[in-house]
Amino acid sequence: MNAQIEAHARDRARGLAEMLSSALAATLESDDSEEAARVLALLDSQADAEAAVVTSADGRALARWRASDRLEPPPPDGAMEDRGGHLVIAVPVRSTSGTAGRLVLSFNVGGVAAEKRSNWLAVIGLVLIGGATLAALVTRLFVRRRRAERALADEKAKFWTLVEAMPEALVIHQAGRLTYANSAARALFELGDPNDQSIQRTRPLEAFNAAVAAGQRTTTIKVEHDSGTRHLELRRFALNAAGGAVSISLARDVSEERELQDRLALSDRLASIGTLATGVAHEINNPLTYILSNLEFVAGECQALRDSATDDTTEHQRLDEVVAAVSDAHRGAIRVRNIVGDMRKLARKEFGERAPIDLSAIVSGATQLARSWIGRRAHLAIELAEVPLVMASESQLSQVVVNLVQNAAEAIPPDASAEKRSIRVATLAHADGSVEITVADTGTGIPSEVRDKIFDPFFTTKPVGVGTGLGLAICHGIVRAHGGRIEVDSEVGVGTTMRVILPAAPADSQVLVPVDATGSESCSGRILVVDDDVPVASATARLLRGGDTEVETSPRRVLERLQAGERYDLILCDVRMPDMNGPELLEAVRGQLPDLARVFVFMTGAVDERSEADLARLGVPVLQKPFDRTSLRRFVSAQLERLARAA
């Protein structure tokens, strides 16, 4: 009977060992010594347990529970030995991939009389019957709990890592006090340690805390930083927790979006202003045409009267005063014409159209356009030298010069002293054949920390609403597209010098001369002037005096007269007219009287590129308004000669 009880005890001891071995399988797979030690600690409930050791597959001791020399050498796997009152058992620890290690256990049965040993084994066997089952259950629950705790800890770590990495600022308030701020919030609100009470009083946080306290779920607020005002989009969520009400707030910095929206809106306004400006320029060109023409006519007539007058000194003086007054008015009208012409150049894109141009002439015209804007803000000095021609777009280089001069003027403070209120614009030729435009000012200068950003689109140091941050970026793009570069020298408190360096055109290049710039002023022939604006038509006919010139204000009557058999050597027709415009009249003539279409030429005050493109498709010569007597007569003379050669 004692042998039978001892056998049962051995079986139950083996069951305990195998149960612990099963619990250790996962820990050996992950090589987790701490977890293995916790499993072995279950042996604390066994009073006669003496020692235990867990080894890895390579024989390395992973964890021990009480040291004992009796564990060495271990019995063979699966064997149990009675070593003089000590029961030692070794079992393999198996995982899904195979044998992961070994568990060796020792129980102390010393001090029990030999004759009573069987009784002791019977008692321990009874204990192990329930103990093994209970220990197995406890071990499983313990392992499952530890795995769940570890998984939960991993998920928490991932969650807070994600929260810290969020680009949006996340802030938690509890009981009205800030208890957490992620890294984006700490940077945005200039916070330090969330446990530091001083963070409640940082200046950027004041508006944010006020919005949170107001309970607004969604709103946009402004916070003040040393670097300026930042616009934040705020979303708030309220929760109830054991420690009191919790408010979770998400804040997104939308300052750049706001700024971009403002700039796009400004760009739209500028585009609208540009469209309006071209329309205004067209309306200016028509009256300017007859103002210039009539002033020139009056000046000529007054001079003729003076030359034919008697030697009456008083009469001569009065006529001289009239001639001087008319000449002054004529010069003013020419100045207006030049300004409108410069507006026309800037309104045209001409991205792909380049020609040899005189850079000094471009600079002269552009600075004259900018001079009226500069006013008394600064003294503008122009130094133009003879330089090689450059292959470029006239309108684009004009835009570059105007932008650089305007930037120079804006860099000069309104309260600057007289010697600090100057802008110098110059042209010069380099020894390597390149050409330079210099725009130098005595303004505030550009700080070194932003000098590398001045050509970035939308970068500006000007206040909101002043400038778009596009001027220098556009200039830089235009110059690079022309194969050139812009160099910048600047010193804070001294001023800035911008140098635009462009390659010269080929040596055999020549400036293209407009057809009406040179040539004869003879206008013999029968000419019909067609314009619904009576003063323009009358002034044009007056400047063509000396030939057979007629005026017609209705395009439909012109068509009727041509259908009735009237013929002209040249028909000078306006483009924009009510009821029927110039191109429509031409198409009607081409359809009914094709031989007469060749005598049509147009005159227009339109400054927009679309109108010019439409006229170019018609293949008809065009005279731009406003014109003076010389340009008109040379244009008409050239067209009459062209038609005579083609006849």
For 564-574, the pLDDT digits (tens) are 999 999 999 99
The pLDDT of residue 587: 92
Cβ(624)–Cβ(604) below 8 Å: yes
Both tokens of residue 432?
A: 């390597």
pLDDT at 510 over 60: no
- Cis, bond preceding 594 (omega within 30 deg of 0): no
Task: Give me the mean pLDDT over the 481-505 stretch.
Answer: 89
The pLDDT of residue 530: 94
- For residue 343, what pLDDT band results from cuts at 50, 70 and 90? low
User: CA distances (Å), 246 to each of 171, 172, 175, 239, in order?
Assistant: 10, 7, 7, 5
From 289-293, 361-365, 437-441, the region with the lowest mean pLDDT = 289-293
User: What CATH class is the domain 359-502?
Assistant: alpha beta
Cβ(227)–Cβ(213) below 8 Å: no
From 310-324, 353-367, 379-393, the region with the lowest mean pLDDT = 310-324
* 131 phi/psi in degrees, rounded to 5: -65, -40
Q: In angstroms, what is the C-alpha Rg of the chain?
A: 49
pLDDT at 20 over 90: no
pLDDT in tens, 103-128: 898 877 654 433 344 344 444 444 44
**Which residues are within 8 A (CB) of 46 and not within 5 positions of it... i.e. 6 or more apart?**
107, 131
**Structural element, H or E, at residue 234:** strand 228-241
The CATH number given to 2-161 is 3.30.450.20
- For residue 306, what pLDDT band results from cuts at 50, 70 and 90? confident
Q: What is the rounded distance in angstroms from the CA atom of residue 466 to the CA atom of residue 460?
A: 9
Specify the higher pLDDT residue, 9 or 92. Answer: 92
Q: What is the rounded distance in angstroms from the CA atom of residue 491 to the CA atom of residue 448?
A: 8
Widest pairwise Cα distance in the chain = 169
- For residue 206, what pLDDT band results from cuts at 50, 70 and 90? low
Q: How many helices (H) and strands (E) does the chain have?
A: 15, 22
Q: Where are the domains of the chain?
A: 2-161, 166-253, 261-313+515-647, 359-502
Q: What is the rounded distance in angstroms from the CA atom of residue 607 to the CA atom of residue 588?
A: 25
Cβ(384)–Cβ(420) below 8 Å: no
User: What type of residue is 246?
Assistant: V
**Mean pLDDT score of the chain, rounded to an integer?**
76
Across the strands, what pairs with 500? Answer: 437, 486
Q: Which of 26-40, 77-91, 235-249 has the highest mean predicted lDDT (pLDDT)?
A: 77-91
User: CA distances (Å), 535 to each of 282, 289, 291, 631, in order?
Assistant: 15, 9, 9, 18
Specify the higher pLDDT residue, 244 or 33. Answer: 33
pLDDT at 617 over 50: yes
Owner of token pair 């910095």:
253
Closest CA to 58 of 101, 22, 103, 105: 101
pLDDT at 419 over 80: no
The pLDDT of residue 459: 63
pLDDT in tens, 463-486: 544 454 567 777 888 888 888 899
How buried is 617 (Cβ within 10 angstroms: 0-12 exposed, 13-18 middle, 19+ buried)? exposed
Q: Determine the length of the chain.
A: 647
Superfamily of chain region 166-253:
PAS domain (3.30.450.20)
Task: Give me the mean pLDDT over the 265-272 stretch.
Answer: 63
Dihedral sign for Cα atoms in the order 154, 156, 159, 165: negative
Under CATH, what is the fold of the domain 261-313+515-647?
Rossmann fold (3.40.50)
The pLDDT of residue 205: 62
- For residue 586, what pLDDT band results from cuts at 50, 70 and 90? very high
The pLDDT of residue 509: 57
% of the chain surpassing 70 pLDDT: 73
Specify the higher pLDDT residue, 129 or 187. Answer: 187
pLDDT in tens, 144-175: 667 777 888 888 888 888 888 888 888 887 77
The pLDDT of residue 324: 78
The pLDDT of residue 93: 85
Q: According to the 3-state scheme, what is the secondary structure of 25-56?
A: HHHHHCCCHHHHHHHHHHHHHCCCEEEEEEEE
Specify the higher pLDDT residue, 369 or 1. Answer: 369
- 2-161 matches 166-253 in fold: yes
pLDDT in tens, 370-396: 776 676 778 888 898 888 888 887 778
The pLDDT of residue 311: 67
Helix axes 609-618, 582-592, angle to 10 degrees: 10
The pLDDT of residue 215: 64
